[in-house]
Amino acid sequence: MEKLVITGGNRLHGTIKISGAKNAAVAIIPAVILSDGVCRLENIPDIEDVNIIDEILCKMGASVRHINENSLEIDPSGIEEPVATYDLVRHMRASCYLMGALLGKYLRADVALPGGCDFGVRPVDQHLKGFGILGAKHIVEDDMIKIKANKLTGNHIYLDVVSVGATVNVMLAAVKAEGRTTIENAAREPHIVDLANFLNSMGADVRGAGTDVIKINGVKTLRGTTYSIIPDQIEAGTYMAAVCSAGGDVVIQNVIPKHLESITAKLREMGVTIEEFDDSVRVVSSGRLKRCNVTTMPHPGFPTDMQPQIAALLSTADGTSIVNEAVWDNRFRYVDELRRMGADISVDGSLAIIRGIERLTGAPVKATDLRAGAAMIVAALGAKGTTQIEDIRHIQRGYENVVGKLSSVGADISLIKTNESMKQA
């Protein structure tokens, strides 16, 4: 077992380079299935979720060649069966994108139901609604979603909820459908735009990504391409929060400032100085942060994937803050871990009421999910004493080289291996 050990109190100085976007990579890699040629993907983050989706494609028969730690070459022509069984997909929610990619290419997809998630139910009703409107039928049998269509015909799809996953999956199923598909109430996240740009680089005809209406004219074939994915807005936001927690002056390099607008606005409201440049932001923080209220929204609102991290910051802000998690039903499991560090937080439904204290105190805590783990790191960097974070496999799913990146700006952070037997003794 491994855990992170962080001793708070060091102010951070220097530059942190942001990796490619996890949520773009886990959508674009399955999208390669739609191609009739070989695709080369660059700026791919070296994280567990990417390794898992690569392994799934390999086990299905595709060839995935790692050119270096951040570049892949994928040839999907070896895929024989559009089937992804539970043993392949159980580790990762984003494997549900295989449904749209396999259906779009083979008019058939048998994909195991997405694994349970760390916070609440992860439904796919809108995904299936979109497939149905395009002409597919599905059954659920033996924990598998089995979808097939004689043909896919473009149509008008109105998503009942703004869903990143449903928007991605309908795009993947529609790019080779006959005729025009319109997706209304579409998600507008940067990774949706990145997926559309990737599909268009293969010869698709996707317009309007980044707005709430996406129009897709189906094409017959999609060619191989070379594509570099966007930087990760949530990784960037996480390190911005880390600087605010520890204090310091750090340049976050390789970002698209526009993707960070809601995060930057919120941190400025909390008293942080943030300078924006073409592909970087400089974060300068000292002294106690101001309290504020946060409501998570689909992009361009404040991202739910930054909710635990901002709550960790507000735990030591001057005053009482309210965080409203308006996207997920139950994304406050990390609060118990923050309480172990002394945080004064009460949760009532979708609201967390955070009464800021002077300073958190290091303690042994767990990463209950990916962003909760990130919040523990943010909290630990500003806490008094040492924090040990267990279950860091969650963090490794979405953050490339977190120890190296934080150490390089002066954080006292290390990864230690614990001998499980010694622990049990």
Give the catalytic positions in this structure.
117
Among the listed residues 56, 370, 376, 403, the single contact to ligand EPZ using CB under 6 A: 370
Region from 3-11, 60-68, 125-133, 244-252 binding ligand EPZ, contact rule CB under 6 A: 125-133
Q: In terms of CB distance, is 123 or 404 closer to ligand EPZ?
A: 123
* Main-chain dihedrals φ then ψ at residue 267, nearest 5 degrees: -70, -35
- Length of the chain (residues): 425
Q: Is 50 in the site for ligand EPZ (CB under 6 A)?
A: no
Q: Is 304 in the site for ligand EPZ (CB under 6 A)?
A: yes
Among the listed residues 14, 116, 123, 319, the single contact to ligand EPZ using CB under 6 A: 123
Q: Is 143 in the site for ligand EPZ (CB under 6 A)?
A: no
Tokens of 188: 């507008």
Q: In terms of CB distance, is 75 or 235 closer to ligand EPZ?
A: 235
Residue 245 to residue 224: CA distance in whole angstroms:
44
Closest distance of CB 359 from ligand EPZ, Å: 27
Q: In terms of CB distance, is 352 or 363 closer to ligand EPZ?
A: 352
**Residue 119, helix vs strand vs coil:** coil
Q: In terms of CB distance, is 291 or 299 closer to ligand EPZ?
A: 299
Q: Is 48 in the site for ligand EPZ (CB under 6 A)?
A: no
Helix (H) or strand (E) segment spanning residue 237? helix 233-246
Q: In terms of CB distance, is 285 or 296 closer to ligand EPZ?
A: 296
Residue 7 to residue 249: CA distance in whole angstroms:
19
Q: Is 327 in the site for ligand EPZ (CB under 6 A)?
A: yes
DSSP per position, 19-84: -B-HHHHHHHHHHGGG-SS-EEEES---SHHHHHHHHHHHHHT-EEEEEETTEEEEEGGG----EE
Among the listed residues 164, 222, 243, 354, the single contact to ligand EPZ using CB under 6 A: 164
Closest distance of CB 331 from ligand EPZ, Å: 8
Q: Is 305 in the site for ligand EPZ (CB under 6 A)?
A: yes
Report the half-sphere exposure of 338 (CA within 13 A, side-chain side).
35
Q: Is 126 in the site for ligand EPZ (CB under 6 A)?
A: yes
Which of 255, 283, 278 minimizes the C-alpha distance to 267? 283
Residue 392 to residue 292: CA distance in whole angstroms:
29
**Which residue of this chain has its Cβ atom nearest to ligand EPZ in the complex?**
165
**Contact letters (x/-) for ligand EPZ, 77-116, by CB under 6 A?**
----------------xx----------------------
Closest distance of CB 273 from ligand EPZ, Å: 27
Residue 34 to residue 54: CA distance in whole angstroms:
15
Q: CB within 8 A of 106, min separation 6: which ones?
A: 82
Closest distance of CB 57 from ligand EPZ, Å: 16
Residue 220 to residue 218: CA distance in whole angstroms:
7
Region from 3-11, 140-148, 162-170, 316-324 binding ligand EPZ, contact rule CB under 6 A: 162-170
Q: In terms of CB distance, is 122 or 333 closer to ligand EPZ?
A: 122
**Contact letters (x/-) for ligand EPZ, 374-403, by CB under 6 A?**
------------------------x-----
Q: Are 131 and 147 in contact (CB under 8 A)?
A: yes
Among the listed residues 166, 173, 345, 367, the single contact to ligand EPZ using CB under 6 A: 166
Residue 325 to residue 351: CA distance in whole angstroms:
6
Alpha helices in 61-157 (DSSP H): 86-89, 97-106, 125-133
Q: Are 419 and 19 in contact (CB under 8 A)?
A: no
DSSP E strands, 195-341: 205-207, 213-217, 226-228, 248-253, 273-276, 280-285, 294-295, 320-324
Tokens of 290: 């101001």
Total binding residues toward ligand EPZ, as defined by CB under 6 A: 24
Closest distance of CB 80 from ligand EPZ, Å: 26
Q: Is 122 in the site for ligand EPZ (CB under 6 A)?
A: yes
Amino acid at 40: R
Q: Is the dihedral angle over the CA atoms 368, 369, 373, 376 positive or is it negative? A: negative
Closest distance of CB 304 from ligand EPZ, Å: 5
Report the half-sphere exposure of 352 (CA within 13 A, side-chain side).
29
Closest distance of CB 143 from ligand EPZ, Å: 18
Among the listed residues 3, 176, 371, 394, the single contact to ligand EPZ using CB under 6 A: 371
Region from 4-12, 21-29, 241-249, 251-259 binding ligand EPZ, contact rule CB under 6 A: 21-29
**Where does this chain bind ligand EPZ (CB under 6 A)?**
22-23, 26, 93-94, 122-127, 161, 163-166, 187, 304-305, 327-328, 370-371, 398
